[in-house]
Each structure stands twice: as C-alpha cells, then as structure tokens.
Amino acid sequence: MRYKIIIGGIAIAVLACIAVFPAWFSRYPRGYQDTLRSIESRDGSVEWRFAPEAPSDTYRFGSDNYGYDIQTRIFWGLGWTLACVFIVALSRTMVGGTIGIIRALVFKAEGLGRSVSPLAVIPSFVFVFFLLYPVTINSPLGSLRLFLFQCAVMTVFDLGGIIASISLKTQALMRTSFYDSAVSCGANRTWLARYHIIPFLATDLIEAFATQTVAVLQLVGRLGVFSLFVGGTIMTLDPVMLSSATGEIAGLIGQYRGRLQGARWMLLYPLGTYLIILGSLRLFVSGLHDELQKLDRTYY
C-alpha cells in the first residue's frame, strides 16, 4: 500500500538526515567522555556522579562504563551503518543485474540462473565471517579502508538470487515480439540490452535494491553479534574487551550485548535504533512490492 511507502520513506529520510548531519542532533561533540562529574545543589552540597549513568536530562540515553554518551554514539555511528547498507545493496543490485543480463543474452538457456552457486546451501554469513575475521579485529587498514573492504566482501556473496531472478526475467523479455523484431533488424547485444532489456527491468532492479537493504542490514546485525563491527573491532587484552572502532549501530549492540542484568539502557537504545532502521526498511520494501505488483507487466 502507498501509506507504507510514505511512512517508511519518511522514517528512512529522517534517519539519513541524522546520519549525514549528526552534529545538528547530538547534544555533545563526537567522542565526548565524562567518567566522573560533580553536581552542586542549591544548598551548596556537592554530589558526585560516575559512569555509567542512567538516562536523565544530562544524558538522554544514559552513558556507558567509560562515560560515553549513548545518544551521541548512536547518532555518529548511524552514518556508518546506513552507508554500509546502501552501498552493499546498490553494489549487489548493479553487479548481480549486470551478470544476470549478460548470462541470459550470451547463453540463452532456460533455467541458467538456478545453477549460479553450488554452495548455495551454506549461509553467506559463514563465508563473510571467516573472510572478515582476520582483518577486522585490530585492523591495520584503518576504518575507511576496512569499511570499503568489508563492503566489497559482503557484495560478492548473496549475488546468486539477484543473478537468477534477473536472468529469468531477461529470458522472458527475449521471448517477446518487440525483441524478436529488433533481432531481425540486426540489433547487436549492446543495443538489445540498452533499449529492449534494461528499461523493462528498471522496476525489478529497484525492488531488488530495496530488498537487499533489508538483507544487508540483517547481515551486519549478525556480524555485530559476533563482534565483527563495520569499520573495525578494537580488542584490548587487559582486560579482554571488544569495542567498535566507529560506533556503528550493530557494533554498539555487540559491544553492549552483555548488559542484560544491569545498566540495560546501554543495550536497549542501540537495539531500539537497529529495530527502527529494520522496521522502516521493511515497511518501505513491503509498500514498494505492493505498488509494483499493480503494474501491468504484459511482457511476462
């Protein structure tokens, strides 16, 4: 339904605005830390407060053990999470769509898309985890280069579904009369792809991109639970601790996942933010799917 697209789109736009301009919404600058502070009351007495602090007027989402404001960390880390989701989803759609179209045009065989990967029974998370683990913890690459490498690895896997879908839909277009007419007139593959395939696959590619945003966010969340954070994981040995180098949302969830017995706000606010992102994307994808289903696709 259209209301799903509107509500989901507005929510995504608000999240994107916070991600792009976190300083406008954060109460404190990036990296703000205050482990011990004093409050002077009206009668002149001094009250000392130490981290972690529960949510209050000073720290709306509370602070963690090291005095970092949770709200500030969420706002500044949101950009890393959304950037990863949209970059990987777009890359998967472009690469998978291109390969799918080429396979259909070159091989022209029915059902080719179904045999893309012999390892399809193994979850892609397993491959991504073992490829990223050696370079993510205390990485020498730096946050930005590691981020790009992580996006590249996550793009490579889970391409099979997009390739299969686009291949089959391209084959369906190749059986239409206007495609046969273009072939009879001597059109080459580049012309056929540009004018007789891609324009009619635009809605399918848009839907594939939207669907992939949800899939990538879920993958990032699973990696975060296993302490592989977008942008890098910092491990200290005394004591042994794993923390997010960028403060991205899934990283905060993984970092604070042990906070179920006490100081629950450390986990609940990042988890709530993650669920808001996931819910917004799912709502938008559901509405987009409903709208696209209404289109008259006479070429099928």
Three-state DSSP class for residue 123: coil
Give the residue-averaged pLDDT of 138-153: 90
Mean pLDDT taken over the chain: 83
Residue 50 three-state SS: strand
User: Tokens 């990296």 identify what position?
Assistant: 31
Torsion of the alpha carbons at 120, 125, 126 and 128, rounded to the nearest 10? 110
Match 């007139």 to its residue by tokens: 185
Taking only the tens place, the pLDDT of each residue in 245-294 is: 888 999 889 888 877 777 788 889 999 999 999 999 999 988 888 777 77
Say what the pLDDT of residue 116 is.
47
Beta strands in the chain (DSSP E): 36-40, 46-50, 233-237, 240-244
Nearest to 66 by CA among 228, 255, 271: 255
Pair of tokens at residue 144:
């930005």
Closest CA to 169 of 119, 103, 213: 103
- DSSP character string of 51-106: SS--S-SSSTT-B-TT-BBHHHHHHHHHHHHHHHHHHHHHHHHHHHHHHHHHHHHH
Residue 270 has a pLDDT of: 92
Q: What is the DSSP letter of 245?
A: S
- Whether the pLDDT of residue 11 is over 90: the answer is yes
Structure tokens at 60: 């709306």
Backbone angle region of 50, left / alpha / beta, with phi > 0 → left and psi within -120 to 50 → alpha: beta
pLDDT tens digits, 164-194: 888 888 888 777 777 777 777 777 777 777 7
3-class secondary-structure state, position 236: strand
Q: What average pLDDT does range 14-32 have in this prediction?
A: 89
- Cβ neighbours of residue 116 closer than 8 Å, sequence gap 6 or more: 159, 160, 163, 164
The token pair that represents 251 in the structure block: 């990283």
Please state the pTM of the whole predicted model: 0.86
Beta-carbon contacts of residue 152 (< 8 Å; ≥ 6 apart): 91
Domains defined for the chain, CATH in brackets = 2-35+64-293 (1.10.3720.10)
Round to whole Å and give the CA distance between 109 and 111: 6
- Give the residue-averaged pLDDT of 113-131: 70
Q: Which residue has the tokens 């299969």?
A: 164
